[in-house]
């Protein structure tokens, strides 16, 4: 279930706000919906960088062990909770995760435009599932770069084409598997684009 999805909520007891088409998240137990607070936690816009290098160069160089902050940071499963908090600060909200031994954390990164959600393992405190939701006004290259970061810079042509198909409304949903990860890209109510990526043994 997705923290950020409007159709489902992985975080029990948290008010959800539809972020455009809210992507199916599995953090709170309800597929594909972003849980977003009505008030942002920090002025993230101040930290966003413009994209001076070519897109292809960014896709090849943007990922390290932890996101660098170019564009919207995409955190892949396996990254420690401390790294997320260090870059993004205090979350908009937290709640019990839908899956056993998990805790959900979410950010309204750019109010009414971009939301991020994470499902952390309570013992290891590392990401088991990562989510992002974007309104139609967000640039497609920003979404692509975020997706690449969420995949640990392992974006391939098939997944890129899947994003393009959903973006161009040729399909409503694209599911994929990449090594130990599974994911979904979905257009939800309000035309919001949702991306959810999780470790295959989570669900």
Domain residue limits, the chain: 4-199
The predicted pLDDT at position 52 comes to 44
The predicted pLDDT at position 73 comes to 85
Please state, rounded to an integer, the average pLDDT across all residues of the chain. 76
Name the maximum alpha-carbon separation found in the chain: 43
The predicted pLDDT at position 72 comes to 81
pTM surpassing 0.95?
A: no
The pLDDT of residue 139 is above 50: yes
**Residue 196 — pLDDT band, cuts 50, 70, 90?**
very high
Please report the beta strands in 46-101, taking only residues with DSSP state E, as ranges in sequence order. 93-96
**Residue 167 — pLDDT band, cuts 50, 70, 90?**
very high
What would the pLDDT profile of 54-100 be if each residue is shown by its tens digit?
555 555 555 655 665 556 888 999 999 999 999 999 999 999 888 88
The predicted pLDDT at position 14 comes to 30
Q: How many CB atoms lie within 10 A of CB 15?
A: 11
**Averaged over 144-158, what is the pLDDT?**
92
Contact 68, 62 (CB under 8 A): yes
Per mean pLDDT, which range of 12-21, 161-170, 177-186 is the poorest?
12-21
Instruction: Please list, in sequence order, all residues whose beta carbon lies within 8 angstroms of the beta carbon of residue 100, skipping any fewer than 6 positions away.
Output: none
Q: How far apart are CA 19 and CA 12, in angstroms?
A: 18
- Phi then psi dihedrals of residue 61, to 5 deg: -115, -5
**Averaged over 4-16, what is the pLDDT?**
36
**Residue 11 — pLDDT band, cuts 50, 70, 90?**
very low
Q: How far apart are CA 112 and CA 190, in angstroms?
A: 11
Contact 108, 37 (CB under 8 A): yes
């Amino acid at each position: 279930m997705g923290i950020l999805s409007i159709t489902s909520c992985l975080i029990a007891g948290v008010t959800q706000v539809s972020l455009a088409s809210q992507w199916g998240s599995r953090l709170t137990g309800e597929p594909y919906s972003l849980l977003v607070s009505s008030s942002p936690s920090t002025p993230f816009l101040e930290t966003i960088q413009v994209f001076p290098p070519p897109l292809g160069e960014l896709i090849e160089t943007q990922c390290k062990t932890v996101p660098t902050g170019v564009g919207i940071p995409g955190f892949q499963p396996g990254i420690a909770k401390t790294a997320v908090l260090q870059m993004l600060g205090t979350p908009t909200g937290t709640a019990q995760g839908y899956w056993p031994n998990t805790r959900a954390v979410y950010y309204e990164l750019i109010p009414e435009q971009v939301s991020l959600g994470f499902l952390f393992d309570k013992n290891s405190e590392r990401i088991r599932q990562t989510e992002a939701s974007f309104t139609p006004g967000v640039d497609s290259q920003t979404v692509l770069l975020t997706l690449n970061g969420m995949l640990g810079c392992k974006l391939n042509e098939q997944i890129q084409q899947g994003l393009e198909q959903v973006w161009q409304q040729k399909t409503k949903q694209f599911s994929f598997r990449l090594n130990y990860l599974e994911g979904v890209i979905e257009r939800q109510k309000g035309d919001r684009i949702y991306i959810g990526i999780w470790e295959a043994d989570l669900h």
